Amino acid sequence: MSGGQWFLPLIIICIVLGLAETYAKKKGNSKLQKTIDTLAYVLMLAMVIGFWILYFRGEFSFTNAAIYTVIFIYLIATQLLKQYGERLRKKWGKVAFHRINLALTIAYILLIAFLILAGAHFALVGWLIEGVLILIFGGIS
């Protein structure tokens, strides 16, 4: 798993999953979409487990493993918010739901920014990268 031999097959799998997802959306096949989404999340979980195995073997840095783990948790939390969004909106109200969603997004952005800074040993380049990423993520969210 070390040495990068896993990277090209991973890219090919991601491209195939992306093409299948696009096909499923065009055809309106929700069952295929759910299957592809589940497969993608299983693949991401396997990657996170692999990154932590590489970290404990000393072949991967803690910062990278932590960033991938935070991104995986963020994606799962976002999907759960989408799935149970209507129920939460009815329970807490639309404004409170959006505030909770925004607070979670800001927390994840700041956590990833801190991990990048720690990985760059708080150097000037790390601060510049963090500033750019916060602007990009803030604009997207």
Specify whether 51 is located in the same domain as 103.
no
Express each pLDDT in 33-55 by its tens digit: 888 878 888 888 888 888 888 88
Specify whether 34 is located in the same domain as 96.
no
Specify whether 68 is located in the same domain as 56.
no
- Domain span holding position 110: 61-141
Contact in structure between 118 and 90 (CB atoms under 8 Å): no
CA distance 51 to 67: 10
Contact in structure between 51 and 57 (CB atoms under 8 Å): no
Express each pLDDT in 62-106 by its tens digit: 877 888 888 888 888 877 777 777 787 888 788 877 888 788 878
Number of domains in the chain: 2
Burial of residue 130 (CB within 10 Å: 0-12, 13-18, 19+) is buried
Q: Which of 39, 60, 81 is the last residue of a domain?
A: 60
Specify whether 138 is located in the same domain as 70.
yes
Residue pointed to by tokens 């990423």? 133
